[in-house]
Structure formats: C-alpha cells, structure tokens
C-alpha cells in the first residue's frame, strides 16, 4: 500500500492499493496513538477508511474499511 501525503501537513491525499489509486475526498478525523497516527477518511469510491501510519517505520495500513450506503429514504 502506498499513500501520497501533503508534505506541509503530513496528511494523506490519496491511497494506492491492489492496482488502483483512490483520491481522498474528505478527512473526517485524525488522532495520535503512541508511535502511530490515524486518519479517518472518505475516498473517491465512496467508502470510509481508517488509515494507520507507523511514524517510526513510515509504513501505512488500512485498519478499517466501511462501505457507506445511502440513508433510507422516507416513504412519500
């Protein structure tokens, strides 16, 4: 897995895995945990991911994938 980051902020802007590249549309949250940084993002495929960055090894991994579905519509 490869992650492109904004150099000035160190935040992810795109992820590449499995032969495809996904632009990050929205950064929902970020937090630190010891030697890791976490980013909760929504990508161009409409899915939510939590990315973990090992800051000592500069390695990235996806620790959560969640397909986002449209909320149910009210009957009219």
67, two tokens: 């397909």
* 31 — pLDDT class (breaks 50, 70, 90): very high
* Average confidence (pLDDT) over 33-40: 94
The predicted structure's pLDDT at residue 37: 96
Question: Please, which residues have CB within 8 angstroms of residue 3's CB and are 6 or more apart in sequence?
Answer: 12, 14, 15, 16, 51, 53, 60
The predicted structure's pLDDT at residue 50: 97
Percent of the chain with pLDDT over 90: 72
């Amino acid at each position: 897995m490869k992650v492109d980051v904004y150099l000035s902020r160190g935040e992810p802007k795109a992820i590449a895995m499995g032969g495809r590249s996904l632009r990050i549309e929205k950064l929902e949250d970020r937090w630190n945990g010891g030697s890791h940084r976490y980013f909760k993002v929504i990508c161009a495929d409409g899915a939510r991911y939590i990315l973990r960055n090992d800051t000592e090894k500069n390695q990235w991994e996806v620790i959560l994938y969640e397909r986002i579905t449209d909320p149910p519509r009210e009957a009219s």
